[in-house]
Chains A and B, each alone.
Chain A
Amino acid sequence: MSDFDPGRRRFLGHLGLAGLGALGMGGLVGCASSASTSSGGGGSDGPVAVQSNLSSPQAKAAMEKIIETFNKQGKGSATLNTIAAETYRTQLPTYLTSANPPDLYTWYAGSVADDYASKGLLLDVSDVWQGLADYPEALRTISTDASGKQVFVPMTNYWWGFFYRKSNFARWNVQEPKNWTDFVALCQTLKGKGIPPIGIGLGDTPWVASAWFDYLNIRINGAPFHRELLAGKQRFDDPKVKAVFTRWREVLPYFDPKGKAYPFQEATAALLAGKTGMFLIGTFFADAAPKDALGDLDFFRFPIIDPAVPVAEEGPTDGFFASAKTGNPTGTKALLSHLASVEAQEEYIRHSSGIVLPANPKAKAADSPLVAKGKAMLESAQELTQFFNRDSSDALQPTADTALTKFMDKPDQIDAILREWQAGAEKVFKG
């Protein structure tokens, strides 16, 4: 679901952040320590307060519809409170730790949810999961916390891949590559035709580079190693991590040199205009694409490097978790069950703009070949990862941004970069 995306939230939010500069030193702490929020949840019978960061117009309208339907069903009542995404991100810990927190929150599955669960802030929603027997096991796993209980209910997910324009590939007379060798050959061909083969947009959105790191790591070292690395159980200066960058270096000359100066939205424009060959990105990029270009878009999965490594794909999953302190656990769980239902998710898919997949296996995804292909890819994957910041934390993301952009600029310094990365990561894990 594009609206959840970390980088876009960051990009948009940061425009608003400019004002924070004026806060100065006193303001730093004043802001961080203000533990009160006006949007507290209701009493035991009051309506369920839903805190949502789905602030794009379509997504907001879709959520309003879903809540309205729920209220009409008579199983409970709920109120929706939509908050600008960046504000939401910085305020979420405050909501959760306040004395009278809102009941239900939009957020991400996996490590980020588990992190809050480990601090005792999330409601055990195992009862809701009893009604979700047909949900795939992978979704259940990323909704389960370290102690084995479910704390999260997924609503949608999306996929990452190398997107390209069918008409351009036809014009350049090239095909989708099947493996790494094919991929390098494709890059060479495109470069020979004067097209920068690989688009990227790091200007405002350096986190886009993390997709390259994630994918190379899960293709070379496998998803379990990747998760351990991001959880601080492996080291970034490990030779296995260095192997990732050795591969990456093979294709560095094929990156669009302008990509480091502009954000992914402009990289999208460059791809659509045929100024770059392909672009490793999540489906949310299509939000910025004109409708007539959508039919011409296709994608291929990140090429296989080592066939012995089980295939994993990035399938960031968005959904809901609830506060452990909710005054109305029954109503909250009723609403969660509704949000997990075929009806609610199809309603959301109908209204949202991006190319997203419903989490409920019975709910119908949008009817397009691209969506069908993405759905098939995620279903055939043996493992799903989320994305760098979702498998680790928002706090670790800046260390990746620094290390990866520096690597792309100065690949010779990789040993020093990885040492710095490890040092930076240790600080984040230490707190």
Chain B
Amino acid sequence: MTVLAPTESPRQRPAPDRKPSRRRPARRMSPLLVAFVLVPFAVESIWVFWPALQGFYFSLTRWDGLEPPQFIGLDNYAEMAGDSVFRGALLNTVIWLLLFGGLSVVGGFGMALLLQKERRGIGFYRAALFTPVVFSLVVTGLVWRVFYQPDGLADQVLRTIGLEHLIRPWLADPQTALYAVILPALWRQIGYVMVLYLAGLKAIDPALHEAARVDGANGWQRLWNVTVPQLRGVNAVVLSVIVIDSLRSFDIVWALTRGGPYHSSELLSTYMYSTAFQSLRLGYGSAIAVVIFGLALAVILGYLVRAFRED
């Protein structure tokens, strides 16, 4: 690969038998630049690519982490097909993707629209909404646990407004556990999505809005026909972030319910963790990890392909 040959100094370059071409400057990569590519690549290979490949291999084995892995073909995947806990976790992950993903986009975009105009004190509101992003998720988990605990703030609020009959052990009731966990996750994510959309909104040329206004478009029309189409680039980023965040959502669930009670708030990520590191079935855990990887890839590729086609 001459392109990457770092030892060749530019001086030696104009070889007599080669015609100088326009592309030449691109071929003369500085050794520093090459290092910037190769070093991270090498590090990634060791810490990311190789373990990921190993993960695929481990998903075909039975392994307790102590004795050498034992190759069992696709048995783990066959088991997964008949595993009701896995199915529940998959369903919960889809619910999570739709609810957490959908609501954080709607909420984040809504907040960005509300807070985009520069006004006195607007910075305070933006900061207030962004604050949850700053807290460590473990702290978030602890705070919300206090909120949900028996006779905690949630129960007190319900009692004050006369809805005592709704009170239940929020995190310990299989009916409510998953939704009770989605709420703090949303509380956190909305601020983050808001910032992404704020940046996008700032980048829209005000002249477009002016022109639309001159043409007699009302607020809704301007939103749908000017703002939204201009945000396509941001949407792609937000979607990728949301999908990845949904599929790797683990911390908040683990901190609040640990997938319980009896798997009712289990996500694929928590199930992967508990099978691998609590039940010490690392082969099966790896197989679940492969499924998560596949899901993330499918959703993101699916979107990107569509986005490119539209362009």
Cα–Cα distance between A27 and B49 once the two chains are bound (Å): 10
Query: Chain B residues near A17 (CB, 8 Å)?
Result: 254, 273
Query: Chain B residues near A97 (CB, 8 Å)?
Result: 66
Query: Chain A residues near B258 (CB, 8 Å)?
Result: 14, 204
In this assembly, does B2 line the interface, its C-beta being within 8 Å of a C-beta of chain A? Answer: no
Would A28 and B272 count as touching, CB distance under 8 A?
Answer: yes
In this assembly, does A402 line the interface, its C-beta being within 8 Å of a C-beta of chain B? Answer: yes
Would B251 and A29 count as touching, CB distance under 8 A?
Answer: no
Q: What does DSSP make chain A's interface, helix, strand, loop or mixed? A: helix
In this assembly, does A32 line the interface, its C-beta being within 8 Å of a C-beta of chain B? Answer: yes
In this assembly, does B261 line the interface, its C-beta being within 8 Å of a C-beta of chain A? Answer: yes
Query: Chain B residues near A202 (CB, 8 Å)?
Result: 172, 261
In this assembly, does A252 line the interface, its C-beta being within 8 Å of a C-beta of chain B? Answer: no
- Residue interface bits A144-174, CB-to-B below 8 A is 1, else 0: 0000000000000000000000000000000
Query: Chain A residues near B284 (CB, 8 Å)?
Result: 427
In this assembly, does B138 line the interface, its C-beta being within 8 Å of a C-beta of chain A? Answer: yes
Query: Chain B residues near A94 (CB, 8 Å)?
Result: 65
Cα–Cα distance between A325 and B276 once the two chains are bound (Å): 26
Would A409 and B293 count as touching, CB distance under 8 A?
Answer: no
Task: Name the one of A18, A121, A401 contacting B137, with C-beta atoms under 8 angstroms.
Answer: A18
Return the chain A residue nearest B151 by Cβ: A258
In this assembly, does B87 line the interface, its C-beta being within 8 Å of a C-beta of chain A? Answer: no
In this assembly, does A21 line the interface, its C-beta being within 8 Å of a C-beta of chain B? Answer: yes
Would B248 and A258 count as touching, CB distance under 8 A?
Answer: no
- Beyond A33-B54, A395-B280, whether A15 also contacts B286 by CB under 8 A is no
Interfacial residues of chain B within 129-168, with CB under 8 A of chain A in the complex: 136-138, 141, 148-151
Would A93 and B289 count as touching, CB distance under 8 A?
Answer: no
Return the chain A residue nearest B266 by Cβ: A402
Cα–Cα distance between A121 and B292 once the two chains are bound (Å): 35
Question: Which residue, B249, B254, B284, has most C-beta atoms of chain A within 10 A?
Answer: B254
In this assembly, does B290 line the interface, its C-beta being within 8 Å of a C-beta of chain A? Answer: yes
Task: Name the one of A25, A32, A262, A398 contacting B65, with C-beta atoms under 8 angstroms.
Answer: A32
In this assembly, does B174 line the interface, its C-beta being within 8 Å of a C-beta of chain A? Answer: yes
Query: Chain A residues near B289 (CB, 8 Å)?
Result: 25, 28-29
Cα–Cα distance between A33 and B54 once the two chains are bound (Å): 9
Nearest Cβ distance between residue B134 and chain A, in whole angstroms?
Answer: 16
Task: Name the one of B137, B278, B285 contacting A28, with C-beta atoms under 8 angstroms.
Answer: B285
Nearest Cβ distance between residue B155 and chain A, in whole angstroms?
Answer: 10
Cα–Cα distance between A266 and B55 once the two chains are bound (Å): 40
Task: Name the one of B148, B251, B262 contacting A18, with C-beta atoms under 8 angstroms.
Answer: B251
Task: Name the one of A14, A206, A396 contacting B254, with C-beta atoms under 8 angstroms.
Answer: A14
Would A30 and B54 count as touching, CB distance under 8 A?
Answer: yes
Nearest Cβ distance between residue A401 and chain B, in whole angstroms?
Answer: 7
Cα–Cα distance between A18 and B269 once the two chains are bound (Å): 12
Cα–Cα distance between A263 and B280 once the two chains are bound (Å): 24
In this assembly, does A394 line the interface, its C-beta being within 8 Å of a C-beta of chain B? Answer: yes
Would A262 and B150 count as touching, CB distance under 8 A?
Answer: yes
In this assembly, does A90 line the interface, its C-beta being within 8 Å of a C-beta of chain B? Answer: yes
Query: Chain B residues near A96 (CB, 8 Å)?
Result: 66
Return the chain B residue nearest A18 by Cβ: B251
Would A261 and B150 count as touching, CB distance under 8 A?
Answer: yes
In this assembly, does A26 line the interface, its C-beta being within 8 Å of a C-beta of chain B? Answer: yes
Cα–Cα distance between A178 and B300 once the two chains are bound (Å): 64
- Beyond A26-B48, A260-B172, whether A427 also contacts B250 by CB under 8 A is no
Would A14 and B255 count as touching, CB distance under 8 A?
Answer: yes
Interfacial residues of chain A within 69-110, with CB under 8 A of chain B in the complex: 90, 93-94, 96-97
Would A398 and B169 count as touching, CB distance under 8 A?
Answer: no
Interfacial residues of chain B within 27-71, with CB under 8 A of chain A in the complex: 47-49, 51-52, 54-55, 58, 62-67
In this assembly, does A20 line the interface, its C-beta being within 8 Å of a C-beta of chain B? Answer: yes
Cα–Cα distance between A339 and B36 once the two chains are bound (Å): 54
Cα–Cα distance between A94 and B64 once the two chains are bound (Å): 11
Return the chain B residue nearest A396 by Cβ: B279
Cα–Cα distance between A33 and B285 once the two chains are bound (Å): 13
In this assembly, does B274 line the interface, its C-beta being within 8 Å of a C-beta of chain A? Answer: yes
Task: Name the one of A18, A203, A266 contacting B172, with C-beta atoms under 8 angstroms.
Answer: A203
- Beyond A18-B138, A28-B285, A261-B172, whether A395 also contacts B279 by CB under 8 A is yes
Would B276 and A32 count as touching, CB distance under 8 A?
Answer: yes
Would B55 and A398 count as touching, CB distance under 8 A?
Answer: no
Interfacial residues of chain A within 18-52, with CB under 8 A of chain B in the complex: 18-22, 24-30, 32-33
Would A24 and B248 count as touching, CB distance under 8 A?
Answer: yes
Query: Chain B residues near A28 (CB, 8 Å)?
Result: 55, 272, 276, 285-286, 289
In this assembly, does B277 line the interface, its C-beta being within 8 Å of a C-beta of chain A? Answer: yes
Query: Chain A residues near B66 (CB, 8 Å)?
Result: 93, 96-97, 119, 121
Would B51 and A30 count as touching, CB distance under 8 A?
Answer: yes
Would A402 and B263 count as touching, CB distance under 8 A?
Answer: yes
In this assembly, does B107 line the interface, its C-beta being within 8 Å of a C-beta of chain A? Answer: no
Interfacial residues of chain A within 261-288, with CB under 8 A of chain B in the complex: 261-262, 266
Task: Name the one of B51, B149, B290 contacting A33, with C-beta atoms under 8 angstroms.
Answer: B51
Would B292 and A25 count as touching, CB distance under 8 A?
Answer: yes
Would A398 and B274 count as touching, CB distance under 8 A?
Answer: yes
Cα–Cα distance between A28 and B54 once the two chains are bound (Å): 10
- Beyond A18-B251, A262-B149, A431-B62, whether A29 also contacts B277 by CB under 8 A is no
Would B150 and A30 count as touching, CB distance under 8 A?
Answer: no
In this assembly, does A405 line the interface, its C-beta being within 8 Å of a C-beta of chain B? Answer: yes
In this assembly, does B260 line the interface, its C-beta being within 8 Å of a C-beta of chain A? Answer: yes
Would B169 and A21 count as touching, CB distance under 8 A?
Answer: no
Return the chain B residue nearest A256 by Cβ: B150
Return the chain A residue nearest B282 by Cβ: A32
Question: Which residue, A18, A90, A396, A409, has most C-beta atoms of chain B within 10 A?
Answer: A18
Cα–Cα distance between A119 and B278 once the two chains are bound (Å): 19
Nearest Cβ distance between residue A56 and chain B, in whole angstroms?
Answer: 20
Query: Chain A residues near B51 (CB, 8 Å)?
Result: 26-27, 29-30, 33
Interfacial residues of chain B within 67-97, with CB under 8 A of chain A in the complex: 67, 79, 84
Nearest Cβ distance between residue B6 and chain A, in whole angstroms?
Answer: 28
Query: Chain B residues near A396 (CB, 8 Å)?
Result: 279
Return the chain B residue nearest A270 by Cβ: B150
In this assembly, does B209 line the interface, its C-beta being within 8 Å of a C-beta of chain A? Answer: no
Would A203 and B171 count as touching, CB distance under 8 A?
Answer: yes
Q: Which 3 A-B pairs have the closest CB atoms?
A: A21-B250, A30-B51, A261-B169
For this complex, 10 residue pairs linking A to B, each with C-beta atoms less than 8 Å apart, are A15-B138, A21-B269, A22-B248, A25-B293, A28-B286, A28-B289, A93-B66, A206-B261, A261-B148, A395-B278
Given contacts A15-B138, A18-B136, A420-B84, 5 further A-B contacts (CB under 8 A): A18-B137, A25-B272, A204-B258, A206-B261, A257-B169
